[in-house]
Amino acid sequence: MKNIIFIAAPAAGKGTQAELLEKKYHLNKISTGDLLREEVKTGSELGKKIHDMQVKGVLVDDSIVIPVLEKRIEKDNKGEGFIFDGFPRNINQAEKLDDILEKLNNKINYVFHLDVDYDTAMKRSCGRLQCKKCGKIYSKYLDALKPKTDGICDDCGNEIYQRSDDNEETFKERYNTYVATTEPLIKYYKDKNLLYKIDSGKSIKEVFSSIENIIGK
């Protein structure tokens, strides 16, 4: 089995890489966000509890997330392996995940650290421009996504504007939080010789090819 964790910088393209891996190696992708939503839908006692917490805006903590995750891993433990998306986020979760897998005679095999330097990540995330009329997306920074004429939509000739939700200030905070929270996790998996650092400033194809070379084609 191949059990894989991603630790990814903002704008590292984790979603895309996870999807490519899932298809090529027939893995089960587990996103804790999706798991919680599914549990709510079943109408179980646990699902009702989760729903109540979400309605109140309370963070669904490890005492709930972990049993839900465990149930799911038990159910699919005979497959080719798992990709964990958005989990673990801290050392406690990482240790719990190791325990769950060990009970099932299973373990984590690869931890891919998709690293992107601040500048590249910022340029990918910020400076998004959009046409007022047709909604086409452009970028202030990325050459491939720049309009032919400044401020004018290539397709319909109308004005393009900067979307207010992706400003640099907010991005900086997100990036710094990523660095601070992932540092202990990176060390945890490095000590176990499971960590593979991958430069995700490269193209989608190049990043995936690095991953394939590590897992084996």
Closer of 104 and 134 to Zn ion (Cβ) = 134
Q: Which of 38, 52, 99, 155 binds Zn ion (CB under 5 A)?
A: 155
Q: Which of 53, 60, 156, 215 binds Zn ion (CB under 5 A)?
A: 156
89 is known as an active-site residue: yes
23 is known as an active-site residue: no
Using the rule CB under 5 A, is 134 a contact of Zn ion?
A: yes
72 is known as an active-site residue: no
Segment contacting Zn ion (CB under 5 A): 36-44, 137-145, 149-157, 200-208? 149-157
Q: Report in angstroms how near the CB of residue 154 gets to Zn ion at its nearest.
A: 7
14 is known as an active-site residue: yes
Beta pairing partners, 210: none
User: How far is 31 from 69, CA to CA, in rounded Å?
Assistant: 9
The closest of 111, 105, 98, 155 to 132, measured between CA atoms, is: 155
Total binding residues for Zn ion by CB under 5 A? 8
Contact predicate 167/126, CB 8 Å: yes
Q: Report in angstroms how near the CB of residue 132 gets to Zn ion at its nearest.
A: 7
Using the rule CB under 5 A, is 153 a contact of Zn ion?
A: yes
Using the rule CB under 5 A, is 159 a contact of Zn ion?
A: no
The closest of 92, 49, 90 to 68, measured between CA atoms, is: 49
- Residues contacting residue 23 through CB under 8 Å, at least 6 positions apart: none
Q: Report in angstroms how near the CB of residue 157 gets to Zn ion at its nearest.
A: 7
The interface mask with Zn ion, positions 94-133, x = CB under 5 A, is: -------------------------------------x-x
Decide: residue 98, CB within 10 A, 0-12 exposed, 13-18 middle, 19+ buried.
middle
124 is known as an active-site residue: no
The closest of 2, 29, 34 to 17, measured between CA atoms, is: 29
The closest of 118, 97, 106 to 173, measured between CA atoms, is: 118
Provide the token pair at 169. 């200030």
Amino acid sitting at position 172 = K
Segment contacting Zn ion (CB under 5 A): 2-10, 136-144, 183-191, 198-206? 136-144
Binding site for Zn ion (CB under 5 A): 131, 133-134, 136, 153, 155-156, 158
Catalytic residues: 14, 89, 128, 163, 174
